[in-house]
Amino acid sequence: MRIAILIFASTLSLMAQRVVAPGQINKVSGDGNVVVTSKGTQTPGDVVVIDANGNHVPLGSGNLAIDTTLRAGQVVAPGLPTLALRGWDAAIGKFQQTGTGQATIAWIGDSWAANETVCLPVRTALQTKYGNAGAGYVPFDGYSTAPSGVTLARVGTWVDTGQYAGMHGLGDMETNSTDTSTPAKYTVTATMTDAVIHYLAQTNGGTFTYQVDSGATVTVPTTITGLNLLSQSQTFSNAAWTKSATSITTTNNLAPDGTSTASFVKEDGSSGLHYISQSPTLAANTPYADSLYVKAGTRAFITYTSASGGAYGDCNFDLTLGIVETGCIADPVKSAAIVSCATANVCGPSFPAAPGWWRVSVTLLNVSAGSTQAYWKLSSSAYGSSYQGDNASGLYVWGAQMNRGYATMPYVFTPTGPTGPIYTTLLVSELSNASHALKITITVAGTAGVTLLGAESNISVPGVRLHRIPSSGANISTYLAADATAWKAGMLALNPSLVVISLGVNELLGNMAPATQVAGYATLAGQIHAVLPNAEILLVPPADVGATGTYTMTQYAAAQRDAALANGWGFVDTTALFGPYTASSARGLWTNTTHVNAYGGQVIANHVLTVFRRGL
């Protein structure tokens, strides 16, 4: 017979020799004593850590953002980083469910971003899981290397300028050439269905050509006057515009840029077509984008017609529903789009919200050289561009533009227009999903030369794209020194769902105060959100390095953590992951005192990938 003896100790017998104050954190030691491990009080709902003095340090209140199984030693803070990345989740979910679109990351950083020790394993894991949407952006600056999977070559004479106030590249760097004798050339070789060339349009800019593989050579002037091929682009009463069965009755209506410069186009009382048009001179076998800002008046439909090589393409736009009617695509028209201007900055840099205004656009491949007629026709219905006019109805127009390339560029007013450099992109699309060589060659020097900023190698399939924006030796001040208008235009062109900022080593080496660094982060985030209000920010500070300065890397990480909490950004703490440099160095994770090796990069990447936790 077995006898089970249960002993119930009284509460008094288990009480330790020390009284625990309310709010204190305690544990029972091996000899049964209560050991107080932290002093001070805490508010219910707070998440706390214990500082060096043993006091509670609240990280914030609210529910814990626990999205995975907790392991011993893990600390989970509210909203860090998962709740801060809901937009990224939405981008992933969208293409998983619809099979369309991409989730795009822009990774800002110093030499840690340039050498890809962290970026590449992150990119590889995400693209393996969700699909490969291309290697993304590669800067042309003479300092940065191409991302994995991309070969970058250049010949001829180039002048590289970087990390000075007012530079126009995303990494505060750019390159310029007037070498037409060699000639100067960049070649980007990568698997891509689309390439995007980033360059500056400027007064007296030179000319380059681009060619994909052994295809047709396309000429691209970089002078500002070549950006918009239409004259009198918002002065529709001018004789440069043909007005057939229409007239311009007012020219002082509120425009999408906030000025009183929009025109009202009124139809006459005749039966037939009612339109405005220009006939720019276009090159053969060259893509163009034609666009117009338009707002419904008493007519709520507009039709675009272009003729080239005997082919006519019509596109009908509904200004009430904001849609392109079906049946639009026919040569020479290749695509069409309608974009609402109801949100600030969408229809142009620094444009206010302009409800009711739309930017309608088409892309076309011109077949034969010479004058090409482009019509903007008032319509009485979705397909009713020929109708009986009433001599009263019409709609509002502003900002007509035709630019080279398949991408609709930011609007440029002619004839006066801006005189300063403009960050410009040119889309080369409709390539097969295979390896291609994009060759960019300087053909006309101009007075200002040709300034190139970079290029993208993208694949138009559902998946993830990671754009590196490196600047070796940079700190946050480097990025803030770039021309803000150009920098924002570049970010808008990349259109990331998520922006990773990974800086800190050069702040430490330069003894920049952590508070100064995070104040700079706030400024940079403001620039990002000015053009990409839904983009999210993830801070990934470097691990503790072997170099020393006035401040420690742990202090920079703590300041970034606090800034992330205050601003709703994501945060990944690699200093806690690695621990002190001496310990992580002993584990063989470093190339030198300031750069991790491939092993260390993979360790950090694994930690960052917990943010992108969906099934990885």
Quickly state the pLDDT bin for 78 (edges 50, 70, 90). very low
Q: Are residues 238 and 346 in the same domain?
A: yes
Q: Are residues 436 and 471 in the same domain?
A: no
Summarised one tens digit per residue, pLDDT across range 123-146 is 999 999 999 999 999 999 878 888
Task: Give the pLDDT confidence score for residue 433 in this predicted structure.
Answer: 96
Q: Are residues 503 and 604 in the same domain?
A: yes
Summarised one tens digit per residue, pLDDT across range 447-485 is 999 999 999 999 999 899 999 999 999 999 999 999 998
- Could you tell me if 390 and 270 are in contact, meaning their C-beta atoms sit under 8 angstroms apart? no
Sequence-distant (≥ 6) Cβ neighbours of residue 31 within 8 angstroms: none
Task: Give the pLDDT confidence score for residue 21 in this predicted structure.
Answer: 52
Quickly state the pLDDT bin for 509 (edges 50, 70, 90). very high
| Domain limits for position 363 | 228-404
Q: Are residues 221 and 266 in the same domain?
A: no
Task: Give the pLDDT confidence score for residue 218 in this predicted structure.
Answer: 87
- List the Cα angle 7/9/15 in 5-degree steps: 160
- 553: CATH: 3.40.50.1110
Q: What 8-state DSSP symbol labels residue 235?
A: -
Q: Are residues 397 and 386 in the same domain?
A: yes
Domain count, the chain: 4
Task: Give the pLDDT confidence score for residue 8 in this predicted structure.
Answer: 29
Q: Are residues 50 and 173 in the same domain?
A: no
Q: Are residues 511 and 562 in the same domain?
A: yes
Q: Are residues 441 and 469 in the same domain?
A: no
Lowest mean pLDDT among 56-65, 66-75, 223-232, 366-375: 66-75
Summarised one tens digit per residue, pLDDT across range 274-304 is 999 998 877 777 788 899 999 999 999 999 9
Q: Are residues 251 and 384 in the same domain?
A: yes
Distance CA 328, CA 321 (A): 16
- 216: CATH: 2.60.120.260
Task: Give the pLDDT confidence score for residue 11 in this predicted structure.
Answer: 32
Domain closes at, from 14, 46, 62: 62
Summarised one tens digit per residue, pLDDT across range 438-455 is 999 999 999 999 999 999
Q: Are residues 583 and 477 in the same domain?
A: yes
Task: Give the pLDDT confidence score for residue 556 in this predicted structure.
Answer: 96
Q: Is this prediction's pTM over 0.85?
A: no
Summarised one tens digit per residue, pLDDT across range 12-52 is 333 334 444 555 555 545 555 555 555 555 555 444 544 44
Which has more confidence, 388 or 75? Answer: 388
Distance CA 467, CA 107 (A): 6
Domain closes at, from 365, 388, 404: 404
Count other C-beta atoms under 10 Å from residue 14's C-beta: 10
Q: Are residues 172 and 122 in the same domain?
A: no
The burial class, CB within 10 Å (0-12 / 13-18 / 19+), for 346 is middle
Sequence-distant (≥ 6) Cβ neighbours of residue 238 within 8 angstroms: 231, 232
Task: Give the pLDDT confidence score for residue 615 in this predicted structure.
Answer: 39
